Structure 1
């Protein structure tokens, strides 16, 4: 039987409740056609940030120049810089005007491994993209990609019709506000998950 052609995720995928998008991204492939060539990775960990009522969300205090992309149409990249050293990649979700996004926390390298290695300090391949800052560093994603349309040709996500992952849902990590909200999703069988999984609870498969 012929293998199904990868399906690039369209605008309607992102124009949905953020928790659904965050869960359904697990097992999909992030693709970046960057200046050093094509790189891709299988997404294994995400977190949801939802609206001005979420104190951990960048939009909790309203629109700023930094978070303006979050208030725009769904299916765009929101890239920010933290601690003076790390970039973080997010996908804008839900309706225009409602600030919500999914943080891409970790991925497994698939294509462009020499590029990912060159961009990263020496470490096992499974750890190269194991964390939001490491993912952006390995891919070469910076603020230059902020606002990119995820339905375009430079940065996008594909469903490659792989077997469904077993997904766990836990509280978000690395935050102090709303740290008990279970809006983090990850593949329980992936070594590339950025931090280990105490009290994780498998939920549903992706499809």
Structure 2
């Protein structure tokens, strides 16, 4: 069943103004928001239940060793340095796509990784895209599952999440119970308790399970 519009802020201008703030502040407030992707196959909407905040390069005001931007701008992470409300989608481990919504003012790299959510519209299409998911609650439980259920790939990186074929509705009332802790699968200092920038709705069945990172030489995850 589609969510009731009266419970959400729908105006793109107001949503973009909200996203132009600090993602560490935005993260707990965006929980419950509904992101929709209307593709040729049909619409899929996900209610966000878990996100992670990521900040900027090592020479910025808020350096983040867990962020893709820590080493500075590259063609891959360029959307994170752009205006708020746009998508940054990357490919990881040679098999998964993960989606972020860019936050902060234009030029200040930061974003929210969309870690988990509940499919509230288009569950049939999401299930086709996620045939390995055995239950409705698992369709978008984890960043790769969420991106897959929404039909997002790197072809969508740099696209506006607040304009067709996308939309983002913000909850008018914040989630009642929000928890925070270290980010999932981030190696090194960025995955420590000094960066409790993962936020989720407590006791929501769609929230992914926490997994600490294994030490390896690779690009830190956003």
Per the TM superposition, whether the score is higher than 0.5 is: yes
Structure 1 position 74, deviation (Å):
1.2
Structure 1 segments unaligned to the other structure (5+ residues): 198-207
SS in 2 for 1:4: helix
1:152 aligns with 2:163: yes
Find the counterpart in structure 1 of residue 138 from structure 2.
127
Structure 1 position 164, deviation (Å):
3.0
1:183 aligns with 2:197: yes
CA change 1:85–1:167 in 2 (3 A) is same
1:24 aligns with 2:24: no
TM-score normalised by length of structure 2:
0.83
CA change 1:116–1:67 in 2 (3 A) is same
1:17-76 per-residue CA deviation (whole Å, 9 max, x = no partner) reads 111121111111111112211110110000001011111100000010100111111111
User: C-alpha separation between the residues in 1 aligned to 2:114 and 2:154?
Assistant: 15
CA change 1:182–1:5 in 2 (3 A) is closer
1:113-137 per-residue CA deviation (whole Å, 9 max, x = no partner) reads 1000000124111011000001111
Asked whether the equivalents of residues 97 and 152 of structure 2 are also in contact (C-alpha less than 8 Å), the reply is yes
Structure 1 position 195, deviation (Å):
0.8
Structure 1 position 162, deviation (Å):
6.1
CA change 1:160–1:16 in 2 (3 A) is closer
1:169-195 per-residue CA deviation (whole Å, 9 max, x = no partner) reads 111111112212100000012111011
Larger CA deviation: 162-171 vs 102-111 = 162-171
Find the counterpart in structure 2 of residue 202 from structure 1.
none
Find the counterpart in structure 2 of residue 142 from structure 1.
153
1:116 aligns with 2:126: yes
CA change 1:137–1:161 in 2 (3 A) is same
Aligned Cα root-mean-square deviation (Å): 2.0
Specify which structure has the higher proportion of strand. Answer: 1
User: C-alpha separation between the residues in 1 aligned to 2:5 and 2:48?
Assistant: 20
Counterpart selection for 1:84 from 66, 73, 94: 94
Structure 1 position 144, deviation (Å):
1.5
1:193 aligns with 2:207: yes
Find the counterpart in structure 2 of residue 4 from structure 1.
6
